[in-house]
Structure 1
Amino acid sequence: MENKNALTAQEVADILKIAKNTVYELIKRGEINSYKVGRKVRFTMDDVEEYIARSKNIQPTPQASFTLSDKEGHHPHNFFNTTEFYGKSFVICGQDIMLDVLSNYVEQHPHGGPALRAYIGSYSSLTALYQGSIQVASAHLWDGDTGQYNVPYVRRLLPGIPAVIIHLTYRMQGLYVAKGNPRNIKNWNDFKRTDISMINREKGAGSRVLLDEHLRLLGIYGSSIKGYQRESQSHITVASTVARGGADVAVGHEKIAKQVDGIDFIPLQKERYELVVKKEDMHIPQIQAILEILRSKEFKEEFNHIGGYDTSEMGNIVAET
Structure 2
Amino acid sequence: MNETSSYTIEEVAGLLKVSKLTVYDLIKKGMIPAYRVGRQMRVDEADLKQYKANMRMSQPVSSPEEPRKAQEPMPEGRRNVVISGQDISMDLLSKHLESAIQETPLRQYKGSLNSLIDMYQGKCDIVSLHLYDAETAQYNTPYVKRILSGEPFCQMNVVLRKAGLYVQKGNPKNIQGWDDLKRTDIRIINREKGSGARVLLDEQLGLLGVTPSDVKGYSDIVTDHYAVASQVSSGQADAGIGAQHAAHMGSVDFIPLIEEQYDIVILKKHQQLLEAVKSILNSEEYKANLSHLNGYQTKLTGKVIYET
1:118-267 alignment to 2 at 5 Å?
118-261=108-251, 263-267=252-256
1:298 Cα deviation from its structure 2 partner: 1.2
2:269 pairs with 1:280: yes
Aligned amino acid, residue 125 of structure 2: Q
2:276 pairs with 1:294: no
Give, in whole Å, the separation in 1 of the partners of 2:120 and 2:235: 40
1:280 Cα deviation from its structure 2 partner: 2.0
- Counterpart in 2 of 1:306? 293
Is contact 2:159-2:300 (8 Å) kept?
Answer: yes
- Counterpart in 2 of 1:104? 95
1:70 Cα deviation from its structure 2 partner: 6.4
Aligned pair partner of 1:76 in 64, 69, 90: 69
Gap change, CA 1:34 and 1:179, over 3 Å in 2:
closer
1:320 Cα deviation from its structure 2 partner: 1.2
Is contact 1:122-1:205 (8 Å) kept?
Answer: yes
Gap change, CA 1:156 and 1:70, over 3 Å in 2:
farther
1:279 Cα deviation from its structure 2 partner: 2.0
1:74 Cα deviation from its structure 2 partner: 5.1
Gap change, CA 1:77 and 1:14, over 3 Å in 2:
closer
SS of the residue corresponding to residue 258 of structure 1 reads helix
Give, in whole Å, the separation in 2 of the partners of 1:17 and 1:305: 12
Give, in whole Å, the separation in 1 of the partners of 2:188 and 2:31: 33
2:82 pairs with 1:91: yes
Over the aligned positions, Cα root-mean-square deviation in angstroms equals 3.1
Is contact 1:22-1:72 (8 Å) kept?
Answer: no
Gap change, CA 1:316 and 1:112, over 3 Å in 2:
farther
Give, in whole Å, the separation in 2 of the partners of 1:21 and 1:173: 27
2:24 pairs with 1:16: yes
For residues 60-104 of structure 1, give each alpha carbon's deviation from its aligned partner in whole angstroms, at most 9, with x where no partner exists: xxxxxxxxx96232552269xxxxxxx942111100111101111
Aligned amino acid, residue 91 of structure 1: V
1:224 Cα deviation from its structure 2 partner: 2.0
For residues 128-179 of structure 1, give each alpha carbon's deviation from its aligned partner in whole angstroms, at most 9, with x where no partner exists: 1100001111100000010000010001111221221011110100100000
Gap change, CA 1:241 and 1:13, over 3 Å in 2:
closer
1:287 Cα deviation from its structure 2 partner: 2.6
SS of the residue corresponding to residue 90 of structure 1 reads strand
Is contact 2:21-2:88 (8 Å) kept?
Answer: no
Give, in whole Å, the separation in 1 of the partners of 2:241 and 2:140: 18
Give, in whole Å, the separation in 2 of the partners of 1:70 and 1:296: 21
Aligned amino acid, residue 102 of structure 1: L
Gap change, CA 1:124 and 1:300, over 3 Å in 2:
same
SS of the residue corresponding to residue 104 of structure 2 reads coil
Give, in whole Å, the separation in 2 of the partners of 1:280 and 1:15: 34
For residues 159-208 of structure 1, give each alpha carbon's deviation from its aligned partner in whole angstroms, at most 9, with x where no partner exists: 22122101111010010000000111000110121111010011011111
Is contact 1:71-1:116 (8 Å) kept?
Answer: no
Gap change, CA 1:245 and 1:75, over 3 Å in 2:
farther
1:307 Cα deviation from its structure 2 partner: 2.3
Gaps of 5+ in 1: 25-32, 43-68, 80-86
Give, in whole Å, the separation in 2 of the partners of 1:185 and 1:13: 26
Q: Give the structure-2-normalised TM-score.
A: 0.79
